[in-house]
Structure 1
Amino acid sequence: MFKNYLKIAWRNLTKNKAYTVINVGGLALGMAVTLIIGLWVRDELSHNNYFSHKDKIAQIFQSQTFNGQTGTGPAIPRPLEKAFRDGYMDNFEHLVMSSWNNSQYLKYKETSISRDGNFMQREAPEMLDLNILKGEKDGVREINSIMLNESTANALFGSEDPIGKVIEVNSQYDMMVTGVYEDIPFNNSFSDAQFIMPWDKYVSVNEWIKNAEDQWGNNSFQMFVQIADNTTMERVTSTIKDVKKTLNKNTEEFNPQLFLFPMKDWYLRGNFENGKQVGGRIKYVWLFAIIGAFVLLLACINFMNLSTARSEKRAKEVGIRKSIGSQRRQLINQFLGESFLVVLFAFGIAVLIVVLSLNGFNDLAKKEMSFPWASIGFWVVSLVFILFTALLAGSYPALYLSSFRPVDVLKGTFKAGKHSGLPRKILVVVQFTVSVAFIIGTVIVMQQINYAKNRPIGYDKEGLIQIPTMSQDFTGKFELMRDEFIASGAVMEMSTSSAPTTNIWSNRSGFVWEGKPEGFQEDLAWTEVSPEYAKSLNLKIVQGRDFSREFPSDSNAVLINETAVKYMGLKNPVGQFIKDDDEEDPATPMKIIGVVEDMIAQSPYEPVKQGMYVFDKYGNGSYYNMRLNPNQSASQNIAVIERVFKEHFPNIPFQYDFVDEEYGEKFASEVRIGTLSGIFTALAILISCLGLFGLTSFVAEQRTKEIGVRKVLGASIFNVWNMLSKDFLKLVIISCFIAVPIAYYVMNGWLQEYPYRVILKWWIFGLAMLGAMLVTVITVSFQAIKAARSNPVKSLRTE
């Protein structure tokens, strides 16, 4: 019986090749999209699965309130460590203080490289359960020890055994390699931790960290914990939430609330709004999962439409089989078997498409996914997926075709019925509703990205590079290097800054100024810069003047941005003084000498933060900022800069970043989402058009006699085209009017997450509707015009 089912199914598929190609091709595309989205979703949901203690690891976060607005983040004060170790260690299995991930120069013999890593306390390797390849797990217990990941060890030592070897760090101190651990995979936190050095070393070489031991207001550190087996995240959070304000009354005004942020939420649910967790990348997981489901649904709709449309062609087959004793159950099995065969073929093609496109998809999505050939779980899920798709695509045609009455069919009185096409029309409306909604969504995502990209950033990012200066070799050499670089002809101007151009590394409070409101809780971005900072960035001075080396008093001067003027309520800012309100250690008041145009240093989707640019007295900033000579090519300038750099720093790898590329990275996530959405939208439209193409060709075939008669009676090509096209166009117009309010509601909600956002315009929806109708007309016209141009004699001779 099963063999007969397969034979009949195969004959029907090979007999109607055009419809088979459309069915299999449409399903294959839909399944390929669903498969690749499924792999992407799986990768997103498996983030941090590398860590065996994932469900027990957390980071200490705190929320603080400034002027009624609550901000949340991982930065905590150093005294918190002692407080936890003294009174709360029964809640924790491990507690680890850590620096932020930062770059260091590592040198062994003649090999010098730059790598990112962390200074962490000795429990870190145990807490993270690192896979130790060489050496020992407790590898950072000694102050002069260092652990390297496998890639870094290979880059430094090649085939040599690294254990016990001494490397030089930042030309400042020597460290002995005590362990090599497996590279943490790409889709995990700490994947960029290419080395781990002892926290005690971090403290010993940085005076400001030593001084921070009792500074509750200095939130410059981070802490990771692994909770004890006998407790929960919620219980520990309720225990520690008020520790900071209890132990330090000076912080009470900011109402600091501590809590555990679980590792399982770091990647997908990392957004906070006014102290509340409000999701994060999980929204994109849901978005693409929904897109995958809808694309598959569109492909299944094609199958159902074409199968039911061709029902009259198979009516006699059903009638004869029923008259000789076939049960309806057997007919249903037959048609479901055909559906299964089509889906199986489509799945094979879909797998081939995924395999061929996976590398390109990885590049677009910034992933490192591979096809799970060896995963039994994947193949079990695939089998379920095939059966589900076959059932979804074949159930309606099977029930519909098996319901024909044999008497009507064999007497020749069978008619499909005046409402038989209604389900197909509904399915076409569903298809194009989804497609139009996808088009609108993609256009709005790209508009939001371009809106932020075109926002004035306050400085000239073109032709600007930055060089990190983390080594002690740079200390005291700024003036010399500035003269050398400018004299080389490759650099027009150069400055230093305590943070990269595209970020803010320090925020400060505790200032007073004339007219400051009572109880005002200020929060100001703080950047130390050399006098040439504004000139090197082409920052515009809108009031007052820039720093000048001609005025010794500028060592106590400050520039503020336009947002800071409004934030601080200053009417005439130039000439006013800002001073520290610390009565025990009052600093010299800083005089405001100028106001600079707002400069975007953080997210381009957020308002510019109020900021201060303070004179760097020592010229030892963390970055050199260089304005390249516009009269030479960038490659020429870089070659000259590298030569000068190597003359003075022969033991340090030459490392630089173009600021425009760094700024572009701020849009990377949204651009990737927009690009992928656009691709999936195009595929959804293609699948819908495939179905429409198949239906049009069938309708044209079904109405061959009618078209012939009309042409004999004088109908023009336009008349025939209009007859065949208008019904489909009506369905698409209905789809548009359903899709527009749905898309508006969804995308308006998405845009609310961005304070700086595009305003939804009517033309976006109008353009999407027009595009959908145009695509429909083009798709339908091919078959309609072909039918209209056919010779009526041939079509009438067949009767």
Structure 2
Amino acid sequence: MFKNYLKIAWRNLLKNKGYSAINIGGLALGMAVTLIIGLWVHDELSHNNYFSKRDRIAQVFQSQTFNGNTDSGPAIPRPLEMGLRNGYMDNFKHLVMASWNNSVYLNYEDKSLSKTGNFMQEEAPELLGLTILKGEKNGLRKINSIMLSESVAQALFGEENPIGKVVRANSQYDMEVTAVFEDIPMNNSFNDLEYIMPWEKYLTIFEWIQNAEDQWGNNSFQMFVQLADNTSMEQVSATIKDVKKNLNEDTAEFNPQLFLLPMKDWYLRSSFENGKQVGGRIKYVWLFGIIGGFVLLLACINFMNLSTARSEKRAKEVGIRKSIGSQRNQLIYQFLSESFLVVLFAFCLAILIVLLSLDGFNDLAKKEIDFPWKDGLFWAISFAFILFTSLLAGSYPALYLSSFKPVDVLKGTMTTGKYAGLPRKILVILQFTVSVAFIIGTVIVMQQINYAKDRPVGYDKEGLVQIPTMSQDFEGKYDLMRSEFLTSGAVMEMSSSSAPTTQIWSNRGGFNWEGKPEGFQEDIAWTDVSPEYAKTLNLKILEGRDFSREFATDSNAVLINETAVKYMGLTDPVGKFIKDDDVEDPFPPLKIIGVVQDMIAQSPYEPVKQGIYAYDKHGNASFYNLRLNPDNSANENISTIESVFKSHFPDIPFQYDFVDSEYGEKFAAEERIGTLSAIFTALAILISCLGLFGLTSFVAEQRKKEIGVRKVLGASVFNVWNMLSKDFLKLVTISCFIAVPISYYIMNGWLQDYPYRVILEWWIFLLAIVGALAITILTVSFQAIKAANSNPVKSLRME
């Protein structure tokens, strides 16, 4: 019986090729979008699945309160390690101190590479469960050992056995390769871990790290833990909550509280607001999951509308089959079989669309998603998905068509009830409500991105290049390199800084100044710069003057930004002194010699942070900042700079970044969301238009004799077009009035995550309404005009 159902379904599809193409194409498009979104959601939710112990791994976070505002983050002080080891190790199987990501130059023979990794304690490979391909698992037990990722080992040594080979790091120290570990896949934390060096080596390289052994206020490190078998995240978090505060009374004023952030939350739920976990990327997972569901629903609505549009043509078939004994359930099975066949074809076409678009989607979404050909669960879910979609898309047509009475159909007196068209009208309203909401959401996302992009950055980022200077080879050579670069003609000005232009690497407190409020707890961004910093960046001096090499006293001088003036409550800042209350590591009083314009160094969606730019007298440069000569091409300038660089540092790879590109990366996540939203919005509109096209076909088919009579009595093409179009415009107008408040509520809530945000204006919603109505008119007009121009003789000759 089922075979016969499929055979009849196949014949019907072949008989109505145009209808079948539209129906299968619409469903395939919706299913393809749903499949792609499903693969993306799965990739997001499977983040860190590479780590077999992920449910027991966590990072130690702390919350601190400054003037009533609580900040949470992973930066912790070095003495916390011994505090936890001495009294709380029963809660942990492993405890590992780690640096932040470090870029180092690795040299072997004539090869020189810049790679990113961490200094970590000996238990790190065991805690992370790294797959060791060569060498020893305990590869960090010797102070001069280094563990390399598979790709780095291949790049440095080729087919040679790397174990026991010696590489030179930063032209400063020799490290013996003791292990090679498998590259960590992209959708995991530590996916950029290209080397690991011992924590003990880290302590010997930098004096400030050695001095931090007893500095509870120096939150410059990371700590990862693996829980003991008999504990839970909640229990351990509660146990260690007040450890820092109890072990050091000086930090009690900031009310530091420790807690564990599980590895499963690092990627999707790492956002905190005033000390409370408020989510993170998980909101995008929910967002696109909902979008995928709605797009599939729109495609299924199309199927219903297109099927019912053909009901008049199938009515006599139903009447004849019922008159010769077919039961209603048999007819339902028949139409569901047709639905299954359409959905099956649509699914196959959807897979083809996914395969063709997956590479482009990966580029857009910054993913490495592969189609799961060998995943049995995927195919099981897909089969269930096909059945579910078949039932969802075919249920209404099956029930509707099978309900026709054979006597009425065969006598030609079949009439529809007063509310027969209500379900289809509701479906159209639902379709365009979703589509209009998508339009509004996409416009607001794009407007927010452009609003932040148009925000003044406070400096001239065009033609500004930064070069990392992490090697000891750069020490003491700033003046020489500045002279060489300026002489080359490729550089107009040059400076150095302890942090990149687009980031803040250090925050400090413990200062005092005239007029400081009692109990004020400051948190100020700190950057060491060379005297030419403001000139190189074209930073505007608003008050006072810039650094000058002509004044020896400028070695104890600072520039502060506008926000710092307001933050510190200074009315006449130039000439005031900032003093250091830190008894562990004090510095002489610093004189404020100037106020510079605010520059965006963090998120462009956040307020500018209060900052101090201190004269770098200790050689703390991590970057050279170069202002390129605008009279030359960028390629010419970079080529000249590389030649000068290589003449002084032949064993160091030449690296550089354009600051405007680095700044542009700050918009990358939002731009990807905006672009994906725009694509899905366009597809949703297309699918909705197909549904509207189907319903217009249904109405034109149902009213063709009425249209014929009207034309015989003198109705014009415009009269007929107006008759068929006005009802659909009413439905879409209703959709707009439903979509506008819903969109306003959702997007206004989304914007609250951005302190620097666009204001929702009425024209955005009006634009969406006008656009929806215009699309409706264009879609409906095709069938309406076609019906209006039809020959009335053909529709009336049977009367």
TM bin, normalised by shorter chain, reads over 0.9
Superposition TM-score, scaled by structure 2 size: 0.99
Q: Aligned residue for 1:727?
A: 727
Match of 1:53, as an amino acid? K
Q: Aligned residue for 2:281?
A: 281
Give the superposition deviation at 1:600. Answer: 0.4
C-alpha distance in structure 1 between counterparts of 2:358 and 2:708, whole Å: 49
SS of structure 2 residue aligned to 1:403: coil
Match of 1:466, as an amino acid? Q
Relative to structure 2, which stretch is displaced further, 51-60 or 307-316? 307-316
C-alpha distance in structure 1 between counterparts of 2:502 and 2:586, whole Å: 31
Q: Please list the CA deviations of residues 672-691 of structure 1 after superposition, one character each: whole Å capped at 9, or x if unmatched.
A: 00000100010000001111
Q: Aligned residue for 2:326?
A: 326
SS of structure 2 residue aligned to 1:176: strand
Give the superposition deviation at 1:712. Answer: 3.3
In structure 2, relative to structure 1, the CA distance for the partners of 1:585 and 1:84 (3 Å cut) is closer
Q: Aligned residue for 1:598?
A: 598
Q: Aligned residue for 2:263?
A: 263
Q: Aligned residue for 2:29?
A: 29
Relative to structure 2, which stretch is displaced further, 720-729 or 297-306? 720-729
Q: Aligned residue for 2:515?
A: 515
Q: Please list the CA deviations of residues 440-466 of structure 1 after superposition, one character each: whole Å capped at 9, or x if unmatched.
A: 001001111111111011001000010
Give the superposition deviation at 1:697. Answer: 2.9
Give the superposition deviation at 1:585. Answer: 5.8
Q: Aligned residue for 1:676?
A: 676
C-alpha distance in structure 1 between counterparts of 2:236 and 2:704, whole Å: 76
Q: Please list the CA deviations of residues 401-424 of structure 1 after superposition, one character each: whole Å capped at 9, or x if unmatched.
A: 222223332343321223211110
C-alpha distance in structure 2 between counterparts of 1:450 and 1:584, whole Å: 46
SS of structure 2 residue aligned to 1:592: strand
Relative to structure 2, which stretch is displaced further, 3-12 or 465-474? 3-12
C-alpha distance in structure 2 between counterparts of 1:267 and 1:583, whole Å: 38
Q: Please list the CA deviations of residues 610-663 of structure 1 after superposition, one character each: whole Å capped at 9, or x if unmatched.
A: 000000014440000000001111110000000000000000000000000000
C-alpha distance in structure 2 between counterparts of 1:616 and 1:514, whole Å: 24
Give the superposition deviation at 1:790. Answer: 3.2
Q: Aligned residue for 1:93?
A: 93
Q: Aligned residue for 1:227?
A: 227
Give the superposition deviation at 1:178. Answer: 0.6
Gaps of 5+ in 1: none
Give the superposition deviation at 1:582. Answer: 3.2
Give the superposition deviation at 1:102. Answer: 1.4
Give the superposition deviation at 1:793. Answer: 4.4
In structure 2, relative to structure 1, the CA distance for the partners of 1:703 and 1:394 (3 Å cut) is same
Q: Please list the CA deviations of residues 538-570 of structure 1 after superposition, one character each: whole Å capped at 9, or x if unmatched.
A: 001111100001110000000000000000000
Relative to structure 2, which stretch is displaced further, 220-229 or 14-23? 14-23
SS of structure 1 residue aligned to 2:279: coil
Q: In the TM superposition, what are the counterparts of 1:397-796 in structure 2 within 5 Å?
A: 397-583=397-583, 586-796=586-796
C-alpha distance in structure 2 between counterparts of 1:18 and 1:417, whole Å: 29
C-alpha distance in structure 1 between counterparts of 2:182 and 2:438, whole Å: 42
C-alpha distance in structure 2 between counterparts of 1:140 and 1:611, whole Å: 38
Does the CA-based 8 Å contact 2:574-2:592 persist in structure 1? yes
Give the superposition deviation at 1:307. Answer: 1.6
Q: Aligned residue for 1:206?
A: 206
Match of 1:161, as an amino acid? N
Superposition TM-score, scaled by structure 1 size: 0.99
SS of structure 1 residue aligned to 2:179: strand
Q: Say if 2:57 is the partner of 1:57.
A: yes
Give the superposition deviation at 1:796. Answer: 4.1
Give the superposition deviation at 1:439. Answer: 0.5
Does the CA-based 8 Å contact 2:559-2:592 persist in structure 1? yes
Q: Please list the CA deviations of residues 359-406 of structure 1 after superposition, one character each: whole Å capped at 9, or x if unmatched.
A: 000000000001001110100000010001001111122122222223
Does the CA-based 8 Å contact 1:575-1:591 persist in structure 2? yes
Does the CA-based 8 Å contact 1:146-1:179 persist in structure 2? yes
Give the superposition deviation at 1:313. Answer: 2.2
Q: Aligned residue for 1:307?
A: 307
In structure 2, relative to structure 1, the CA distance for the partners of 1:326 and 1:585 (3 Å cut) is closer
C-alpha distance in structure 2 between counterparts of 1:517 and 1:386, whole Å: 67
Match of 2:311, as an amino acid? S
Q: Aligned residue for 2:148?
A: 148
Give the superposition deviation at 1:480. Answer: 0.3
Does the CA-based 8 Å contact 2:30-2:687 persist in structure 1? yes
C-alpha distance in structure 2 between counterparts of 1:146 and 1:494, whole Å: 35
In structure 2, relative to structure 1, the CA distance for the partners of 1:709 and 1:580 (3 Å cut) is same
Q: Please list the CA deviations of residues 731-759 of structure 1 after superposition, one character each: whole Å capped at 9, or x if unmatched.
A: 11110000000000000000011111000
Q: How many residues align?
A: 799
Q: Aligned residue for 2:383?
A: 383
C-alpha distance in structure 1 between counterparts of 2:513 and 2:399, whole Å: 80
SS of structure 2 residue aligned to 1:259: strand
Match of 2:560, as an amino acid? I
Q: Aligned residue for 1:251?
A: 251
C-alpha distance in structure 2 between counterparts of 1:477 and 1:584, whole Å: 30
Give the superposition deviation at 1:315. Answer: 2.2
C-alpha distance in structure 1 between counterparts of 2:79 and 2:388, whole Å: 57
Does the CA-based 8 Å contact 2:461-2:537 persist in structure 1? yes
Give the superposition deviation at 1:590. Answer: 0.3
Gaps of 5+ in 2: none
C-alpha distance in structure 1 between counterparts of 2:440 and 2:406, whole Å: 47
Match of 2:652, as an amino acid? I
SS of structure 2 residue aligned to 1:748: helix
C-alpha distance in structure 2 between counterparts of 1:48 and 1:17, whole Å: 47
Match of 2:769, as an amino acid? M
SS of structure 1 residue aligned to 2:3: helix
Match of 2:485, as an amino acid? F
Quick one: percent identity of the two aligned structures?
80
Give the superposition deviation at 1:433. Answer: 0.3
Q: Please list the CA deviations of residues 308-363 of structure 1 after superposition, one character each: whole Å capped at 9, or x if unmatched.
A: 23223222222222233222222211111111011000000000000000000000
Q: Aligned residue for 1:160?
A: 160
Does the CA-based 8 Å contact 1:575-1:593 persist in structure 2? yes
SS of structure 2 residue aligned to 1:554: helix
SS of structure 1 residue aligned to 2:350: helix
Match of 1:111, as an amino acid? K
Does the CA-based 8 Å contact 1:474-1:620 persist in structure 2? no
Q: Aligned residue for 2:297?
A: 297
Give the superposition deviation at 1:702. Answer: 3.4
C-alpha distance in structure 2 between counterparts of 1:291 and 1:226, whole Å: 37
SS of structure 1 residue aligned to 2:287: helix
C-alpha distance in structure 2 between counterparts of 1:619 and 1:154, whole Å: 35
Give the superposition deviation at 1:584. Answer: 6.5
C-alpha distance in structure 1 between counterparts of 2:32 and 2:583, whole Å: 67
In structure 2, relative to structure 1, the CA distance for the partners of 1:328 and 1:481 (3 Å cut) is same
C-alpha distance in structure 2 between counterparts of 1:122 and 1:607, whole Å: 40
Q: Please list the CA deviations of residues 116-150 of structure 1 after superposition, one character each: whole Å capped at 9, or x if unmatched.
A: 00000111111111111111111111000000001
Does the CA-based 8 Å contact 2:528-2:620 persist in structure 1? no
In structure 2, relative to structure 1, the CA distance for the partners of 1:706 and 1:410 (3 Å cut) is closer
Does the CA-based 8 Å contact 2:147-2:196 persist in structure 1? yes
Give the superposition deviation at 1:795. Answer: 4.4
C-alpha distance in structure 1 between counterparts of 2:287 and 2:314, whole Å: 40
Does the CA-based 8 Å contact 1:78-1:218 persist in structure 2? yes
Give the superposition deviation at 1:586. Answer: 4.4
Does the CA-based 8 Å contact 1:19-1:694 persist in structure 2? no
C-alpha distance in structure 2 between counterparts of 1:413 and 1:523, whole Å: 82
C-alpha distance in structure 2 between counterparts of 1:59 and 1:499, whole Å: 25
Match of 1:603, as an amino acid? S
